[in-house]
Amino acid sequence: MALLCWCIVQQCVFCYLILLITSFAFSRNPEVQKCSRLMTKDYGGECFADPQFLVFCNRLGALFVSSTCIFLIHGCGKRSPALSNILSSWCQYEALLFITFPVQVSLIGVGVSTFILSSPPNRSSAVTTSSLSGLLLLCGYIALDSYTSTSQDNLFRTYNMSPLHMMRGVSGWAVVFTVAPLLINRTLAASLQFALAHPTFVVDVGGSAVCSGFGQILIFLTIAEFGAVTFTIIMTIRQCLSILASCLIFGHPINAVGFVGLFITFGAILLRIFWKRLFSTQKA
């Protein structure tokens, strides 16, 4: 029994470490993975401003990685989590146009007002409208992302599918759902022209898509093996580390009060998840 528990702990730690590595692998920081650098980086005097195209590229990368792994190993997912996954990603990427990365990740938790009040505005970046737009988009991201992991957990339990097949099914629908608006709005051609004009952008998007693809494998594996609650704990810890890394690398302002806010926020989330899981175990 003790050996079995130790094996489970090892698997969980392995999933967490790989998720952390894939987030930091590309360009030394998790902000590229979250596409904030792609949305703010200067490419020859121009900035790319179409988050829908970035979501499409990441989902296409996930589809390629999952299909390749299935082909190498083995020789339809539901629409619901695919659609909510796209909408949550779109809300998250679009929010980067209005607020900075540390503020965004902090708002994923509860009680983040301390962190916001302690962080002065970034004068170097132009504010397109107001922080309210970013906050509303983040509310959509939080709700949809929570529903995504929960619905994926339910699909694993109902249909007993493998993480790779789940990933390919969800990514396949995601590609369809993301390319359709690009074609309808006629923005796909403009995005491709921007990519052709800026090879560095292609490298950045490709690296982000590959890291996202391998990260998705670990996400589905974690949900399949340990459930949505454990996955939430892992992502909460990763987001906390992402904030600290972002502040250190990019010099985002955060003072002692901000660190206290982060500690309270993520500590409260982890404590709530821990007690909920403990109560569920005792009830079972």
- For the stretch 155-202, pLDDT in tens is 777 777 777 777 788 888 888 888 888 999 888 999 999 989 888 888
Mean pLDDT to the nearest integer, 12-37: 53
Tokens of 238: 């990763």
Helices (H), the chain: 2-25, 30-33, 36-40, 51-74, 79-95, 101-106, 113-118, 131-159, 163-184, 188-197, 199-250, 256-283
Domain span holding position 200? 49-108+128-256
* Burial of 252 per CB tally in 10 Å (0-12, 13-18, 19+): middle
- Asked if the structure places residue 29 within a domain, the reply is no
- Asked if the structure places residue 144 within a domain, the reply is yes
Give me the pLDDT at residue 103, please. Answer: 53
Tokens of 1: 């029994």
Residue 207 has pLDDT above 50, yes or no: yes
- Asked if the structure places residue 281 within a domain, the reply is no
Residue 32 has pLDDT above 50, yes or no: no
pLDDT in tens, 41-74: 778 778 887 888 888 888 888 888 888 888 887 6
Give me the pLDDT at residue 88, please. Answer: 59
Mean pLDDT to the nearest integer, 202-217: 83
Name the residue type at position 205. Answer: V
Tokens of 36: 């904030």
- Asked if the structure places residue 222 within a domain, the reply is yes
- Asked if the structure places residue 115 within a domain, the reply is no
- Asked if the structure places residue 146 within a domain, the reply is yes
58, 159, 191 from 77: Cα distances, Å: 18, 10, 28
Give me the pLDDT at residue 193, please. Answer: 92
Q: How many domains does the chain have?
A: 1
- Asked if the structure places residue 58 within a domain, the reply is yes
More confident residue, 241 or 168: 168
- Asked if the structure places residue 184 within a domain, the reply is yes
Distance of alpha carbon 211 from alpha carbon 121, whole angstroms: 30
pTM of the model: 0.58
4, 11, 282 from 1: Cα distances, Å: 5, 16, 18
Residue 114 has pLDDT above 60, yes or no: no
